[in-house]
Amino acid sequence: MENWRLEVSPKQTGRSNMHTDLQMFSVFEEGNIAPTLRIYSWQPRCITVGYGQKLEKQIDLEKAQQLGWDVIQRPTGGGIVFHNEAEVTYSLVMAMNDPILPKGLVPAYKKISEAVVAALNYLGIKAGMAKIQDLERRASNDGLCFSYPAEYEIVVGSKKIVGSAQKRGQRALLQQGSIFVRKNDPKVFSVLKNDCGIENSVSVEELLGRAVGFDALCKALKQGFQECLDI
């Protein structure tokens, strides 16, 4: 089994976090780094928009600044994600042809998501993959939003608790996943230029009825990835 790197980062700005993830991807693509699991959080609060989306089309940038939120583009795809100070994010860089991953985009997503489901289970949350009815709800929604799960994404009931997106190169993949730890102040949703069903998400602290710190989530993620990806 190939050796893996674990990187636990202190709180950083959105720009720094996205730069670090993209740099990890680029260096791995060149063959100069081991597969890496990185776990991190955000300061200040940050709104990210998927690669290829126009920030100004989705977000009122001036209003976001007034409310104290940074706005930045992710190197991965997907829609809009609100990262508050309590949120925990993981990024994973590995080879697309790693023998532990099944072939194909969605099967690979699902395999990685199993590790995050296991992490949530360690915390006492009964999470699982999105079901068919959840996918139909997503298909009927025109907004670009984290709250509607895709086939490979993680839900509790029908509500999304983790948002994931991926970038692929010649040999490497980068997967970013955001665990919704604490509800956001509803005021922040006023920055959206499109309705995208915020009510369809749920947070870790809502489900457990208590505060959950970075260290506890970090430990759970490490256990989940060790169990499911043997890293």
Question: Domain spans of the chain?
Answer: 5-229
Which CATH superfamily, name and number, covers 5-229? Bira Bifunctional Protein; Domain 2 (3.30.930.10)
Active site residue 46: no
Laid out side by side, the sheet with 46-49 consists of 70-73, 46-49, 80-83
Residue with tokens 């102040």: 185
Beta bridge mates, 11: none
DSSP assignment, residue 86?
T
Q: How far apart are CA 132 and CA 130, in angstroms?
A: 7
For 136-173, write each residue's pLDDT tens digit: 444 344 444 554 556 668 999 989 999 999 999 999 99
For 57-98, write each residue's pLDDT tens digit: 889 999 999 999 999 999 999 889 999 999 999 999 999 999
| CB count in 10 Å sphere of residue 46 | 23
Q: Is the pTM of this model over 0.85?
A: yes
Active-site annotation holder among 46, 145, 196, 218:
145
**What is the β-pairing status of strands 46-49 and 70-73?**
parallel
Closest Cα partner for 74 from 27, 36, 148, 17?
Answer: 17
